């Protein structure tokens, strides 16, 4: 009966709280998604290589996110297999000139990529909520989750473009525009050069803006609350000192 419950997360992973590596991979992934149009891979060899690098970086960021969040070892291999299989399929499609995530043929982005992209910031936030003192990892994890939210909405917006009639922005755009739009939306910059014209697009754009602002408010409050407790009580619940960094 003791094995009946198999928790999804534990705190024995050696990758637990490796949010520095996660932030590095996530920023690299978003940078590539901002520079490489992953639809233009039919004849352009440079775009094919760029798309493959982008897929690999995105997969690596998802793998590290799950491990840093404390995914139990028994669940790591199945998720690894799914993510690696997805990269291999993407590589095969790119090699055949059919790797576009969004093109005139109606090719859709893999469903599991969208699901995992949405899951990544959720599991990271879940892990951060277990922290009882502010450490370097807490701050790196908070920034990582914020950037991962932008990546998640990038995939969501691509899915909206595919599943709805017409174009999200009123005209055909490269996938780099979706990453640009996601980043300007979550930061509420709103330059106005790209605007969602469909109802689903507007819904998710508003959702991203709200989620981004609520996240900032919630985690700034969390960090300030933990820091206040550490200042008032030099000793933390786990017996360590009250310094912000380890």
Q: Parse the chain into domains and list their residue ranges.
A: 19-232
Kindly indicate the confidence band of residue 152, based on its pLDDT and cuts at 50, 70 and 90: very high
- Spatial separation of the C-alpha atoms in residues 140 and 138, rounded to whole Å: 6
Please provide the average confidence, as pLDDT, over all residues in the chain: 82
Scored b (16 or more CB within 10 A) or e, 100-112 reads: bbbbeeeeebbee
What is the reported pLDDT for 65?
Answer: 92
pLDDT per residue over 48-84, tens digit each?
A: 778 888 888 888 998 999 999 998 888 888 888 888 8
Indicate the pTM of the whole model: 0.84
Of 163, 72, 151, 147, the closest CA to residue 115 belongs to: 151
pLDDT per residue over 98-112, tens digit each?
A: 555 444 333 445 566
What is the reported pLDDT for 95?
Answer: 67
Of 60, 230, 217, 211, the closest CA to residue 131 belongs to: 230
**Structure tokens belonging to residue 242:** 């009250």
């Amino acid at each position: 009966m003791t094995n009946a419950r198999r928790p999804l997360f534990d705190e024995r992973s050696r990758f637990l709280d490796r949010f520095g590596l996660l932030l590095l991979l996530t920023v690299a992934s978003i940078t590539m998604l901002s520079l490489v149009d992953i639809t233009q891979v039919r004849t352009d060899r440079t775009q094919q290589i760029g798309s493959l690098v982008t897929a690999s970086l995105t997969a690596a960021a998802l793998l590290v996110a799950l491990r840093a969040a404390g995914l139990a070892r028994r669940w790591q291999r199945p998720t690894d297999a799914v993510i690696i299989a997805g990269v291999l399929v993407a590589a095969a499609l790119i090699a055949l000139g059919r790797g576009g995530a969004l093109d005139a043929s109606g090719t859709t982005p893999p469903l599991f990529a969208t699901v995992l992209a949405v899951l990544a910031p959720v599991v990271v936030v879940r892990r951060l909520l277990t922290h009882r003192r502010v450490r370097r990892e807490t701050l790196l994890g908070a920034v990582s989750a914020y950037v991962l939210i932008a990546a998640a909405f990038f995939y969501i917006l691509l899915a909206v473009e595919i599943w709805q009639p017409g174009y999200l922005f009123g005209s055909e755009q490269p996938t780099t525009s979706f990453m640009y739009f996601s980043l300007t939306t979550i930061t509420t910059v709103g330059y106005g050069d790209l605007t969602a014209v469909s109802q689903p697009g507007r819904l998710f754009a508003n959702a991203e803006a709200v989620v981004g602002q609520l996240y900032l408010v919630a985690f700034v409050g969390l960090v300030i609350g933990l820091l206040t407790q550490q200042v008032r009580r030099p000793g933390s619940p786990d017996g360590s000192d009250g310094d912000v960094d380890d």
